[in-house]
């Protein structure tokens, strides 16, 4: 099963004052790491955000698309659960099985 590091980027969509306060209270708390549970990161200006996650999918021609879909859904579920309005999601990924490691 291929393993992907997936980066979902987006923008906060006019959060209310209460949501802004909640976001600011947690700003900078997340590490910029990829994990199986995912990590949401953003700066204090509350413009854009990134969600970094590691996903495994069944091998196949559409594996990359399935990895993107799974990660995007995970990001959307987190944002909606927390009440964070969002827009303009984009997804990019790296298949870790394709990464060549140079050993010295």
The tens digit of pLDDT for each residue in 74-99 reads 999 999 999 999 999 999 999 998 87
Residue partners of 69: CB distance under 8 A and separation at least 6: none
Global pTM reads 0.88
Domain 3-97: top CATH class: alpha beta
Would you state the structure tokens that stand for residue 30, as one six-digit string? Answer: 């997340």
Q: What are the C-alpha distances in Å from 100 to residues 59, 62, 68, 94?
A: 19, 21, 21, 12
The tens digit of pLDDT for each residue in 66-79 reads 999 999 999 999 99
**Domain positions in the chain:** 3-97
Would you state the structure tokens that stand for residue 59, as one six-digit string? Answer: 């091998």
Give the pLDDT confidence score for residue 103 in this predicted structure. 67
């Amino acid at each position: 099963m291929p393993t992907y590091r997936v980066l979902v980027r987006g923008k906060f969509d006019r959060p209310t004052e209460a949501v802004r306060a909640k976001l600011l209270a947690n700003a900078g708390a997340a590490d910029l790491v990829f994990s199986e549970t995912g990590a949401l990161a953003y700066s204090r200006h509350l413009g854009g955000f990134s969600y970094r996650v590691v996903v495994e999918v069944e091998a196949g021609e559409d594996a990359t698309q399935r990895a993107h879909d799974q990660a995007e859904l995970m990001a959307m579920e987190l944002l909606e659960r927390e009440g964070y309005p969002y827009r303009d999601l984009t997804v990019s990924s790296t298949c870790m099985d394709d990464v060549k490691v140079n050993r010295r």
